[in-house]
Amino acid sequence: MSVASLERVSVTPDDLTITPRDRRFGREERTPRWWLNNSPYETALYNALSATFPKGEAYFIESIRAFREAADDKLLGEIKAFTTQEVIHSREHSAFNKRAVEAGYDLSSLERTVDESLALLKGRPAILDLAATMALEHFTAIIAHELLANPRHLANADPATADLWRWHAVEEIEHKGVAYDTWLAATKDWSRWKRWKLKSLLMVLVTRNFVQHRTQGVLELLRQDGITGLRAWVGALWVMWGRPGIFRKVGKAWFQYFLPRFHPWNEDDRALIRGWDATYDYRQEPPRKRVRSAA
């Protein structure tokens, strides 16, 4: 495939700027144990997601950076900004996870599950890591979109923690095309069928793992709250798939990944980013030491 036809498949907006917003959240406070809607179920879902982020995001960075040689200058700049954003996300979610531990949760078995999933890909071709990262970045982007578009998800949350999740969602939307464009560059000589086959296969495997492991994680955290058996299952499934039902709500966007002309930027949802940037007063933040980009 020529460079010209590669450009045709990437629809990342020319005027997109990926801006790392080096922010810190909730450092001076104790996060309530049930920080979301005073609900162990809703809290467990987000805590289970956050437990996976520090290791997961480090894996995304490595997977994408392994294909830097395939990128042009524009994409290289985006990979650099992506890396900086993900490094800061990891830092903030590590701090958040520490507060969850201080609130009484033990996240070690959830973190072990991430290690086991990553071990499955060890020693395999790097393109599989990139395809898995691309699938998970699609997941995070569509969940981020839903989180910002529908205030119900973070209603009655601890304010600093809600800010953490919204900030993270903004940046996930902003860099949602980076893994995909890196994939397009890395597989530019592949046939469309070969590309579709591998990216779809990895999406199916990643989805199965994601749903299974996050459900286990939620059940484990509920167990630590003394909620077990049928009550735990019904409550966990209801939060994920019923109401607010964030996984159900992203179903259509998830499926679009398999369509022939899919690209994360087929939907330009930067209005959600502008909405947050306009309402959040960055000037309230004291100046911080800049995070060095690893790129």
CA-to-CA dists, residue 235 to 51, 217, 219, 230, 244, angstroms: 20, 13, 9, 8, 12
SS (H, E, C) 68-80: HHHCCHHHHHHHH
Q: Which is nearer to Fe ion, 38 or 94 (CB)?
A: 94
Residue with tokens 């911080």: 288
89 binds Fe ion (CB under 5 A): yes
Q: Does 153 bind Fe ion (CB under 5 A)?
A: no
CA dihedral over 188, 126, 72, 259, signed as positive or negative: positive
Structure tokens given for 117: 């999933």
The span of 9-17, 33-41, 83-91, 156-164 binding Fe ion (CB under 5 A) equals 83-91
| Helix%, strand%, coil% for the chain, nearest 5 | 70, 0, 30
Query: Is the Cα torsion angle 270, 210, 101, 220 positive or negative in sign?
Result: positive
Which residues, 6+ apart, have CB-to-CB distance to 289 below 8 Å? none
CB 135 within 8 A of CB 264: no
Question: Rounded to 5 degrees, what angle do the CA atoms 119, 196, 240 make?
Answer: 60
Q: How far is the CB of 60 from Fe ion (least distance, A)?
A: 6
In the bound complex, what is the minimum distance in angstroms from residue 227's beta carbon to Fe ion?
Answer: 29
Stretch that binds Fe ion, among 89-97, 196-204, 218-226, 245-253 (CB under 5 A): 89-97
Task: Report, in Å, the least distance between residue 139 CB and Fe ion.
Answer: 9
Which residue, 175 or 249, has its beta carbon nearer to Fe ion?
175
Smallest gap from residue 263 Cβ to Fe ion (A) = 16
Judged by beta carbon, residue 31 or residue 84, the one nearer Fe ion is 84
Q: How far is the CB of 163 from Fe ion (least distance, A)?
A: 15
Token duo for residue 168: 């993270």
Size of site (CB under 5 A) for Fe ion: 3
From 34-42, 85-93, 204-212, 233-241, span contacting Fe ion (CB under 5 A): 85-93
* Minimum separation from the CB atom of position 89 to Fe ion (A): 4
Q: Which residue is nearest to Fe ion (CB)?
A: 89
- Under rule CB under 5 A, which residues in 22-81 are in contact with Fe ion? none
Closest to Fe ion by CB, 42 vs 172, is: 172
Of 172 and 219, the one with the shorter C-beta distance to Fe ion is 172
Least distance between Fe ion and beta carbon 134 (Å) = 11
Residues 165-224 that bind Fe ion (CB under 5 A): 172
Whichever of 88 and 222 has its CB closer to Fe ion, that residue is: 88
Alpha-carbon span 141 to 250, nearest angstrom? 10
Q: Which residue's CB is nearer to Fe ion, number 48 or number 232?
A: 48
Query: Per CB under 5 A, which of residues 98..127 are in contact with Fe ion?
Result: none
We find the least distance from the C-beta atom of residue 253 to Fe ion, in angstroms, to be 15
Note the residues at the interface with Fe ion (CB under 5 A).
86, 89, 172
